[in-house]
Amino acid sequence: MNTQTTLAQLYSDGLPDDDELFWEYITNSDLKKPVTIEKIDPAELKRMVLKHHQANQIGELNSLLTKQQKSVINHYRKSPNLSDSIIVTYDDMILDGYHRALAAILNNVPINVVRLENLEE
């Protein structure tokens, strides 16, 4: 089931930091435009992540992660609400929620996604 919202509502608890890749694709006026939250299955998410990193398997990515990043991912993996989490993508690039996405892949659970290319209307 898809849900309509806005980025402003989605980030009501706080927007990504100014240095996040997110802001290269989003302007303040975009925050009020409607977006759709949909489920993305782990297989599609894995394809997206591997394509972005030009890797063949998740194990290759694991070797590139710092100890702190692995700790964050493990924290998300333990969350009973992981599949209710939301990631934000543009053109198969994860702009926000990368660690949640990796946790969802490793746990083999679907996760919510907002695809920003749908803002181009």
Q: Which helix (H) or strand (E) holds 4?
A: strand 3-6
Q: What is the pLDDT of residue 92?
A: 87
| Angstrom distance (rounded) from CA 110 to CA 37 | 12
- Mind listing the pLDDT tens digit for each residue in 30-74? 999 999 999 999 999 999 888 877 767 777 777 778 899 889 999
Q: Residue 13: inside a domain, yes or no? A: no
Q: Residue 39: inside a domain, yes or no? A: yes
Q: What is the pLDDT of residue 65?
A: 82
- Give me the percent of the chain exceeding a pLDDT of 90: 49
Domain region containing 96 = 34-119
Do 88 and 114 form a contact (C-beta atoms < 8 A)?
yes
Residues 6+ apart with CB under 8 A from 22: 16, 88, 95, 96
Q: Residue 60: inside a domain, yes or no? A: yes
Q: Residue 17: inside a domain, yes or no? A: no
Q: What is the pLDDT of residue 1?
A: 64
How many structural domains comprise the chain?
1
